[in-house]
Amino acid sequence: MKNKEIGTVAVGSMCLGMVQTNCYFVFKEDGKDHSSNTNVESEELTPVIVFDPADRGELIYNELKKRGFRVAAIYLTHAHFDHIGGVDDLRKLSGAKVFVYEKEKRLCEDPSYNLSIDYGMNLTVKPDKYLTDGEICEDAGLKFKLIATPGHTEGSCCYYFEEGNILISGDTLFEGSVGRTDFPTGSMSQLVRSCHDKLFVLPDNTVVYPGHGETTTIGYEKMYNSFL
């Protein structure tokens, strides 16, 4: 990871779990080298927001700490098993609070809805706070907005950083594709409306960081995404 100008918003990622889920960490550049192991005092660690700790919460915590980061908060785009597997361990180790869109309560609480029961797991999440559509969130010196995008699940959402033109899209929007809607609470018609009405109104140069696969931009998806 190359350092950017101090004060800019930066995004790092780890690919975790059985279906290769992207776990993102977002922070404000402070001029430090976060690309390799570093030895700094705990009070000097750079605060970072973790999105969708998919698996191995202890690994996420240790890797971020080695790079000079402190987990300030945990946000979820939705509560499918492959996006929440590392939540509890990461929360215990970091002391960070967990935030989820309020309409995702059913998937947070029910292993059959979040699909973990189908894979021999029994995962649930108890958020510290449920958020509302359009709510402005502030953590780690950053400000961003929750955008409700139902379709992949009834409580799927994205997080938009106007500073930096960054969208954490979860499983709503992928490069050239969209999230599946054949799981509990999914709806293709809702997902299409969410993308057109909530995401395609963002600037074309907005960089999209999806839950799986490679990054893209809003402009590219408006032009080439055959699902939309």
- pLDDT single digits (tens) 90-149: 999 999 999 999 999 999 999 999 999 999 999 999 999 999 999 999 999 999 999 999
What does 120-176 look like in DSSP terms, one character per residue?
A: T-------SEEE-TT-EEEETTEEEEEEE-TTSSTT-EEEEETTTTEEEEETTEETT
Per the domain annotation, does 48 fall within a domain?
yes
- Are 60 and 90 in contact by the 8 Å Cβ rule? The answer is yes
Residue 63 sits at φ, ψ, to 5 deg, of -65, -40
Per the domain annotation, does 1 fall within a domain?
no
| Centroid of chain to Cα 131 | 14
Per the domain annotation, does 2 fall within a domain?
no
* pLDDT higher than 50, residue 1: no
Per the domain annotation, does 95 fall within a domain?
yes
User: pTM above the 0.85 mark?
Assistant: yes
Its sign, for the CA torsion 73, 208, 114, 198, is positive
* pLDDT higher than 90, residue 40: no
Q: Which of 27-31, 149-153, 218-222 has the lowest mean pLDDT?
A: 27-31
CATH number for the domain including 31? Answer: 3.60.15.10
Per the domain annotation, does 13 fall within a domain?
yes
* pLDDT higher than 50, residue 218: yes
Residue 83: closest CA among 177, 18, 166 = 18
Q: Within a 10 A sphere around the Cβ of 224, how many other Cβ atoms?
A: 11
| Centroid of chain to Cα 41 | 27
Q: Which of 22-31, 41-50, 59-68, 92-101 has the lowest mean pLDDT?
A: 41-50
Residue 7 sits at φ, ψ, to 5 deg, of 95, -15
Decide: residue 82, CB within 10 A, 0-12 exposed, 13-18 middle, 19+ buried: buried
Per the domain annotation, does 189 fall within a domain?
yes
Q: What is the mean pLDDT of the chain?
A: 95
Instruction: Please report, as a single letter, which amino acid is at residue 151.
Output: G
Contacts of 7 (CB under 8 A, 6+ apart): 28, 29
pLDDT tens per residue across span 15-32: 999 999 999 999 999 888
* Number of domains making up the chain: 1
Residue 143 structural domain: 9-224
Select the more confidently predicted residue: 5 or 216. 216
Distance between CA atoms of 135 and 129, rounded to whole angstroms? 12
Per the domain annotation, does 119 fall within a domain?
yes
Per the domain annotation, does 4 fall within a domain?
no
| Centroid of chain to Cα 87 | 12
